[in-house]
């Protein structure tokens, strides 16, 4: 379907819309009243069909707005549906979660932050705010601005917290397995509550909020040039992708294109980030199934990548290298030969790791058919990145809606059909090799010229920027009123849609497979997390060490059954 | 105290960090830095910990959990505030969900707690190791 056919399709629902506006080749803004929102959303998701990205709640002066963002990946088009809720006293909207599970979390978030009530929502409990956050206080409403500026915190508030628990209650007699809340390597700290029947997981519930820092609100108090430093600290490992997506959005509002050299520098930083992030994941995945050698080696091989990043940007993480209109630091020509040499070395090591994984009969037995996310579920949960590509959905923002210099480079999108943990591991490993190839090409092609142009003013308007982070699509929506600060800045990190897909991939799994299934979408687990199995009376019967041991024992058992002697140092080439 | 200084067992607590400090802490364990050669070991339970490595500026939801983790550690326990956020909430100071920083929350439980600070965003693994060793030297 090309742009024309998409427009024709959208005009079928013209009667229910207030306006259809096309601001650029691949950005379409629709708007409608609250009463039509359900029907229009259903049409967009089921009949066009579009991929759900996220929704943004905005407190405008006279009404509340909810913007549903959709993507049509075939032509890289973003379709935004603005819904106006005129009743400020009692804001209500029909929930779209019954037919679109991907929207469940964001509707709960908008309810927490803006106080919009979603009718017929299957699971309307608190999601993003703390258990003891006072009831009826909505931090994203404009009336809170002055209070927060005067030093209001939830601790000084006199209003009571709600009585209803944020966690789901489980019927007595069903064993539950709480996982969390401390997971040092996650983007978002999470608490999982698994209901189990013997060794089989029968239900999973999640609680987030531990890591909610209110970044979208802080962003409204910063100037356009300061925001990249804030968004690079959303997640340490995605500290190149978030600012890149943000500046894509702001540059769309300002109508500027960064110079060629800046586009290449951005690409190089983003790809180096992907290499070290994927290697980090391979190491942790190895750790979970008892291959600590893989853990230590993969982390050793990512060190040269961090050193390169430090040499270019001055920091191993949190690069802060992207700014509106270009880049802050250039890649000095004299380090290019060293970069190429180091990348060759990284490529060799990654190839060795990839071979070791693909040729290992135990890993095949241990990871194939485990934690499968079917293509249908992947679409319903709107997952992105390697999680989607492992389930046979060939989407990649770098190819579909190219930004930076991706359109100039020669590379492939890696897709696997099976949807299990093994498929996701293969996607990540092969992607790392593609990234190394891409980085080398970009370094060799690096054009001469300035790395930034001056952008004096950001005009009023709105823009969407997205980029492919190591974990999937990161999406930023920015609205400007012509001042020097964004009046609304919405961020959707990839894990926000990838994590809820656990409901589809974990249920029916063995407890011993859960750690690796949860880790397969790369929410970054580490060995120091606190985790315990609690029986119906609340007694701890298994702790994290025992679960890890269960996972490792399963691997050892399979090694025995396969008559496999175990990993020997001589089998690996030591460079 | 002297035995504690020989071989420090640390427990890692994330209270709303962006992950960077946490990755750098784990990086300390891996071959390039390998803190186990200095007798420092990461443990899975606060009840085994001589020290807490706390990252993040403490969100409203994490604060009660941090207090509880500190209560569970055997005393004396050294608290390391790792990174700019743990030291003074860093870039997230104005966030409505932030109730930290770390020293404020820990002192609510124990006014005489030993707290050491390792600033940086994120501190490099070398800085974390040097911070821990410097703190042990003055104890």
Output the domain CATH number for residue A84. Answer: 3.30.460.80
Residues 5-34 of chain B with CB under 8 A from chain A are 11-27, 30-32
Quick one: CA dihedral B4, B10, B16, B19, positive or negative? Answer: positive
For A23-27, A221-225, A423-427, A521-525, which range has the lowest pLDDT when averaged over its residues? A521-525
Rounded to a whole number of angstroms, the distance from the CA of A42 to the nearest CA of chain B is 34
Q: What is the ipTM of this complex?
A: 0.93
Is residue A155 situated within a structural domain?
no
For A92-101, A368-377, A526-535, A555-564, which range has the lowest pLDDT when averaged over its residues? A526-535
pLDDT of residue A575: 40
pLDDT of residue A100: 93
Helix orientation angle between A260-288 and A241-254, rounded to the nearest 10 degrees: 150
- Number of H-type helices and E-type strands within chain A: 19, 17
Is residue A297 situated within a structural domain?
no
pLDDT of residue A180: 63
Contact, A410 vs A526, CB < 8 A? no
pLDDT of A188 over the 50 cut = no
Residue B122: cis peptide before it, omega within 30 degrees of 0: yes
Preferred mutation among B26, B51, B53, B58 to probe A, highest tally of A CBs within 10 A = B26
Of the candidates A499, A512, A520, the residue with the CA atom closest to the CA atom of residue A550: A512
For B61, which residue in chain A has the nearest alpha carbon?
A130
Preferred mutation among B12, B13, B14, B70 to probe A, highest tally of A CBs within 10 A = B14
Q: Please give the Cα distance from B52 to B34 (Å, whole number).
A: 18
For A64-68, A282-286, A292-296, A534-538, which range has the lowest pLDDT when averaged over its residues? A534-538
Arithmetic mean of pLDDT over chain A? 85
For B60, which residue in chain A has the nearest alpha carbon?
A130
More confident residue, A205 or A441: A441
pLDDT of residue B100: 80
- Parallel, antiparallel or unpaired: strands B51-55 and B114-118: unpaired
pLDDT tens by residue, A20-75: 998 888 899 999 999 999 999 999 999 988 999 999 999 988 899 999 999 999 99
Q: Which domains does chain B have, with CATH numbers?
A: 2-138 (3.40.50.12280)
CB–CB of B61 and A303 under 8 A? no
For A69-73, A80-84, A563-567, which range has the lowest pLDDT when averaged over its residues? A563-567
pLDDT of A493 over the 80 cut = yes
Interchain contact A189–B (C-beta under 8 A): yes
Which string of DSSP letters, residue by residue, matches A262-314?
HHHHHHHHHHHHHHHHHHHHHHHHHHHTT-HHHHHHHHHHHHHHHHHHHHHHS
Helix (H) or strand (E) segment spanning residue B127? helix B125-138
CB–CB of B20 and A318 under 8 A? yes
CA A428 to chain CA centroid, Å, is 15
> Which chain B residues touch A575 with a CB distance below 8 Å?
none
Is residue A54 situated within a structural domain?
yes
Query: CA dihedral in degrees (A321, B12, B81, B32; nearest 10)?
Result: -50
Collapsing DSSP to helix, strand or coil, A456 comes out as coil
More confident residue, B130 or B4: B130
pLDDT of residue A533: 35
pLDDT of residue A189: 61
Contact, B103 vs B126, CB < 8 A? no
For A526, which residue in chain B has the nearest alpha carbon?
B26
Q: Is A573 exposed, middle or buried (0-12, 13-18, 19+ CB in 10 A)?
A: exposed
Q: Please give the Cα distance from A249 to A425 (Å, whole number).
A: 31
A525 pLDDT band, cuts 50/70/90, is very low
Q: Is A377 exposed, middle or buried (0-12, 13-18, 19+ CB in 10 A)?
A: middle
CB–CB of A234 and B56 under 8 A? no
- Provide the residue range defining the domain that includes A121: 3-129
Query: Could you say which DSSP state residue A119 is in?
Result: E
Is residue A533 situated within a structural domain?
no
pLDDT of residue A498: 87
Of the candidates A473, A474, A435, A401, the residue with the CA atom closest to the CA atom of residue A271: A435
CB–CB of A210 and B94 under 8 A? no
Q: Please give the Cα distance from A204 to A392 (Å, whole number).
A: 24
For A523, which residue in chain B has the nearest alpha carbon?
B19
CB–CB of A210 and B19 under 8 A? no
Task: Kindly state the tokens that stand for A46.
Answer: 């089921």
Interchain contact B50–A (C-beta under 8 A): no
Contact, A93 vs A37, CB < 8 A? yes
In the predicted model, what is the mean pLDDT of residues B108-134? 93
pLDDT of A261 over the 70 cut = yes
> Which chain A residues touch B94 with a CB distance below 8 Å?
148, 218, 221
Q: Please give the Cα distance from A315 to A229 (Å, whole number).
A: 13
CB–CB of B32 and A303 under 8 A? yes
pLDDT of residue A165: 58
Of the candidates A298, A258, A256, the residue with the CA atom closest to the CA atom of residue A275: A298
Interchain contact A138–B (C-beta under 8 A): no
Arithmetic mean of pLDDT over chain B? 89
> Which chain B residues touch A236 with a CB distance below 8 Å?
17-23, 122
Q: Please give the Cα distance from A235 to A243 (Å, whole number).
A: 11
In the predicted model, what is the mean pLDDT of residues A317-321? 88
pLDDT of A183 over the 60 cut = no
For A134-138, A179-183, B67-71, which range has the lowest pLDDT when averaged over its residues? A179-183
pLDDT of A572 over the 60 cut = no
Interchain contact B122–A (C-beta under 8 A): yes
Q: Is A235 left (phi over 0), alpha (psi -120 to 50) or beta?
A: beta
A407 contact partners, CB below 8 Å, separation of at least 6 = none
pLDDT of A536 over the 50 cut = no
Query: Could you say which DSSP state residue A44 is in?
Result: I
Interchain contact B99–A (C-beta under 8 A): yes
pLDDT of residue A571: 52
Question: What value does the CA radius of gyration of chain B take, rounded to a whole number of Å?
Answer: 14
pLDDT of A377 over the 80 cut = yes
- As for how many domains chain A has, the answer is 1
CA A344 to chain CA centroid, Å, is 29
Of the candidates A537, A564, A462, the residue with the CA atom closest to the CA atom of residue A80: A462
Is residue A164 situated within a structural domain?
no
Is residue A248 situated within a structural domain?
no
Q: Please give the Cα distance from B109 to B111 (Å, whole number).
A: 7
> Which chain A residues touch B64 with a CB distance below 8 Å?
132
In the predicted model, what is the mean pLDDT of residues A372-380? 92
pLDDT tens by residue, A214-249: 888 889 989 999 999 999 888 888 889 999 999 999
Query: CA dihedral in degrees (A383, A386, A387, A393; nearest 10)?
Result: 70
For A61-65, A183-187, B67-71, which range has the lowest pLDDT when averaged over its residues? A183-187
Helix (H) or strand (E) segment spanning residue B115? strand B114-118
For B95, which residue in chain A has the nearest alpha carbon?
A214
Mean pLDDT is highest, among A182-191, A198-207, B88-97, for: B88-97
Is residue A64 situated within a structural domain?
yes
Of the candidates A306, A283, A307, the residue with the CA atom closest to the CA atom of residue A296: A283
Is residue A59 situated within a structural domain?
yes
- Parallel, antiparallel or unpaired: strands B41-42 and B9-14: parallel
pLDDT of residue A81: 95
> Which chain A residues touch B96 with a CB distance below 8 Å?
139, 144, 148, 152-154, 214, 217
Length of chain B in residues, anyone? 139
pLDDT of residue B7: 87
CA separation, residue A188 to residues A56, A126, A137 (Å): 19, 16, 23
**Half-sphere exposure in the Cβ direction for A107 (13 Å, CA):** 22
């Amino acid at each position: 379907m090309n742009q024309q056919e998409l427009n024709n399709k959208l005009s079928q629902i013209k009667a229910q819309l207030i306006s259809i506006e096309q601001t650029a080749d691949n950005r379409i803004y629709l708007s409608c009243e609250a009463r039509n929102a359900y029907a229009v959303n259903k049409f967009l998701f089921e009949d066009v069909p579009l991929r759900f990205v996220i929704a943004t709640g905005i407190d405008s002066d006279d009404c509340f707005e909810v913007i549903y963002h959709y993507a049509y990946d075939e032509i890289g088009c973003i379709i935004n549906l603005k819904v106006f809720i005129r009743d400020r006293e009692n804001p209500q909207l029909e929930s779209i979660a019954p037919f679109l599970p991907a929207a469940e979390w964001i509707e709960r978030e908008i309810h927490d932050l803006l106080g919009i009530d979603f009718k017929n929502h299957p699971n309307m409990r608190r999601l993003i705010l703390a258990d003891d956050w006072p009831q009826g206080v909505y931090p994203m409403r404009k009336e809170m601005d002055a209070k927060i500026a005067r030093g209001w915190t939830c601790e000084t508030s006199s209003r009571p917290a709600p009585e209803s628990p944020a966690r789901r209650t489980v019927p007595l007699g069903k064993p539950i397995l709480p996982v969390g809340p401390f997971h040092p390597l996650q983007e978002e700290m999470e608490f999982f509550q698994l209901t189990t029947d013997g060794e089989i997981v029968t239900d999973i519930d999640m609680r987030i909020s531990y890591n909610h820092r209110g970044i979208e609100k802080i962003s409204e108090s910063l100037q356009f040039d300061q925001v990249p430093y804030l968004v690079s600290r959303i997640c340490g490992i995605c500290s190149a992708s978030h600012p890149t997506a943000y500046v894509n959005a702001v540059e769309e509002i300002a109508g500027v294109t960064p110079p060629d050299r800046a586009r290449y520098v951005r690409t190089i930083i983003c790809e180096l980030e992907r290499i070290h992030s994927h290697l980090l994941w391979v190491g942790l995945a190895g750790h979970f199934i008892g291959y600590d050698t893989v853990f230590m080696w993969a982390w050793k091989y990512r060190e040269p990548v961090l050193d390169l990043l430090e040499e270019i940007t001055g920091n191993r993480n949190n690069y802060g290298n992207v700014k509106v209109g270009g880049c802050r630091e250039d890649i000095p020509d004299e380090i290019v030969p060293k970069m190429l040499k180091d990348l060759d070395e990284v490529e060799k090591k990654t190839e060795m790791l990839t071979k070791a994984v693909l040729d290992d009969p135990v890993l095949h037995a241990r990871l194939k058919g485990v934690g499968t996310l079917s293509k249908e579920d992947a679409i319903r949960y709107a997952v992105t990145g390697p999680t989607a590509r492992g389930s046979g959905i060939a989407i990649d923002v770098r190819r579909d809606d190219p930004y930076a210099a991706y359109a100039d480079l020669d590379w492939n999108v890696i897709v696997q059909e099976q949807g299990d943990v093994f498929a996701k591991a293969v996607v990540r490993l092969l992607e790392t090799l593609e990234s190394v190839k891409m980085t080398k090409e970009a370094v060799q092609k690096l054009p001469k010229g300035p790395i930034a142009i001056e952008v004096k003013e950001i005009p009023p308007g709105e823009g969407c920027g997205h980029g492919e982070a190591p974990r999937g699509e990161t999406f930023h929506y920015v609205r400007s009123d012509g001042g020097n600060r964004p009046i609304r800045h919405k961020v959707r990190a990839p894990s926000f849609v990838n994590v809820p897909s656990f409901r589809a991939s974990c249920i029916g799994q063995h407890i011993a497979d859960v750690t690796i299934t949860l880790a397969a979408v790369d929410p970054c687990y580490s060995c120091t997390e606190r985790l315990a199995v609690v029986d119906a009376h609340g007694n701890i019967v298994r702790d994290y060490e025992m679960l890890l041991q269960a996972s490792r024992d399963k691997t050892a058992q399979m090694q025995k059954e396969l008559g496999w002697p175990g990993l020997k140092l001589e089998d690996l080439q030591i460079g | 105290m002297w035995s504690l200084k020989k071989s420090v067992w640390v427990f890692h607590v994330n209270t709303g960090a962006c992950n960077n400090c946490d990755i750098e802490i784990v990086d300390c364990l891996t071959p390039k830095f390998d803190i186990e050669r200095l007798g420092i070991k990461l443990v899975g339970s606060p009840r085994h910990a001589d020290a807490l490595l706390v990252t993040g500026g403490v969100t409203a939801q994490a604060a009660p959990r941090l207090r509880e983790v500190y209560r569970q550690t055997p005393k004396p326990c050294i608290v390391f505030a790792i990174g700019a956020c743990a030291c003074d909430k860093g870039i997230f100071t104005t966030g409505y969900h932030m109730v930290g920083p770390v020293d404020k929350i820990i002192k609510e439980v124990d006014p005489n707690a030993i707290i050491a600070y390792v600033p940086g965003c994120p501190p490099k693994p070398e800085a974390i190791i040097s911070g821990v060793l410097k703190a042990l030297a003055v104890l």
